[in-house]
């Protein structure tokens, strides 16, 4: 158990719809990162939130957006869903002011299928 | 730009034997971290081992060890005494500034 909880675990959406994925980070962790893992690929960095502000973004369009709340939990929102958005979405939490690596934990992911 | 390359899409090893997974990376940074993550069918990313670039000594963690060659930008993972529970996807990852860059993974199967 990593203490990082993601919901929902699986969902199916129709092209053009919007989706919200949620992540509860481990206690004491103030940084949340989101990754997209397409089938057969390694995870790709979407963005990171630190103390409720976006702190770095990968090569993803603006229809991928996020939020971090005062309790450090986070949401990933994707608008105007496309078939290629079908993937596993991973959340990783960490405490930024500590040595990185040992304190980064991944959730089990949310499987999104767009039909 | 940082890139991570894993050139072995699939590998297999007999139980109790040793296997080495390869990884190369490209970066212009001097301070960074390297990781191996294991992803079983449950899809949970599990940290196997990490290496700080400024440390010359290779990291070890029980049956897992790395061969870190900074000049060659190579970071291979050796698994000794392979166990059935080691069957999983293995991802090599580079971190700089809190962002991971992952390779495409190596699917390892341990054969009884």
pLDDT tens per residue across span A66-81: 999 998 899 999 999 9
Chain centroid to Cα B99, Å, comes to 17
Interface test with chain B among A100, A107, A111, by most B beta carbons within 10 Å: A100
Q: How confident is the model at residue A99 (pLDDT cuts 50, 70, 90)?
A: low
A2/B97 touch (CB, cutoff 8 Å), yes or no: no
CA dihedral for A95, A97, A103, A105, sign (positive or negative): positive
C-alpha–C-alpha distance, residues A15 and A85, integer Å: 9
CA nearest to A97 within chain B:
B98
Measured between CB atoms, does A2 come within 8 Å of chain B? yes
Instruction: Using the predicted structure, report yes or no on whether residue B35 has a pLDDT greater than 70.
Output: yes
Other C-beta atoms closer than 10 Å to the C-beta of A6 total 21
Residue with tokens 């509860």: A24
Q: Which H/E stretch holds residue A89?
A: strand A87-94
Q: How confident is the model at residue B3 (pLDDT cuts 50, 70, 90)?
A: very high
- From chain B, the residues in CB contact with A35 under 8 A are 100
C-alpha–C-alpha distance, residues A90 and A76, integer Å: 10
Interface test with chain A among B41, B43, B59, by most A beta carbons within 10 Å: B43
Burial class (CB in 10 A: 0-12, 13-18, 19+), B30: exposed
Share of chain A above pLDDT 70, in %: 92
pLDDT of residue B31: 85
Angle CA A106–A34–A92, to nearest 5: 20
Instruction: Using the predicted structure, report yes or no on whether residue A36 has a pLDDT greater than 60.
Output: yes
A88/B52 touch (CB, cutoff 8 Å), yes or no: no
Count of pairs with CB atoms under 8 A, one residue in A, one in B: 59
Measured between its terminal Cα atoms, the distance across chain A in Å is 32
What letters, b where the CB count within 10 A reaches 16 and e where it falls short, cover B42-70? Answer: ebbbebbbbbbbeeeeebeeeebbbebee
Strand pairing class (B74-79; B3-5):
unpaired
- Token pair belonging to A40: 């057969």
C-alpha–C-alpha distance, residues A29 and A32, integer Å: 8
A100 CA: distance to closest CA in chain B (Å):
7
Task: Read off the pLDDT of residues B38-81 as tens digits, 9 standing for 90 and up.
Answer: 999 888 899 999 999 888 899 999 999 999 999 999 999 999 99
Average pLDDT over residues A56-70: 95
Alpha-carbon distances, residue B33 vs B5, B26, B39, B93 (angstroms): 15, 13, 19, 8
The arrangement of strands across the sheet holding A74-78 comes to A5-7, A19-24, A74-78, A64-68
């Amino acid at each position: 158990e990593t203490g990082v909880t993601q919901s929902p675990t699986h969902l199916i959406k129709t092209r053009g719809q919007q989706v919200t994925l949620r992540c509860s980070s481990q206690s004491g962790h103030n940084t949340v990162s989101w990754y997209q893992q397409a089938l057969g690929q390694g995870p790709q960095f979407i963005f990171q939130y630190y103390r409720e502000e976006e702190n770095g973004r990968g090569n993803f369009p603006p229809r991928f957006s996020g939020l971090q709340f005062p309790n450090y939990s986070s949401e990933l929102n994707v608008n105007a869903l496309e078939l290629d958005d079908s993937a596993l979405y991973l959340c990783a939490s960490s405490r930024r002011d500590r040595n990185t690596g040992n304190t980064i934990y991944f959730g089990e992911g949310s499987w999104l299928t767009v039909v | 730009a940082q890139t991570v390359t894993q050139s072995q899409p699939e590998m297999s090893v007999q139980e109790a034997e040793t296997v080495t997974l390869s990884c190369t990376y490209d970066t212009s940074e001097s301070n960074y971290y390297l990781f191996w993550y294991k992803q079983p069918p449950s899809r949970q990313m599990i940290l196997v081992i990490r290496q700080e670039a400024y440390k010359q000594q290779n990291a070890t963690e029980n049956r897992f060890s790395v061969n870190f060659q900074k000049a060659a930008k190579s970071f291979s993972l050796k698994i000794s005494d392979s166990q059935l529970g080691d069957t999983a996807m293995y991802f090599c990852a580079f971190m700089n500034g809190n962002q991971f860059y992952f390779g495409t993974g190596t699917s390892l199967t341990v054969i009884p």
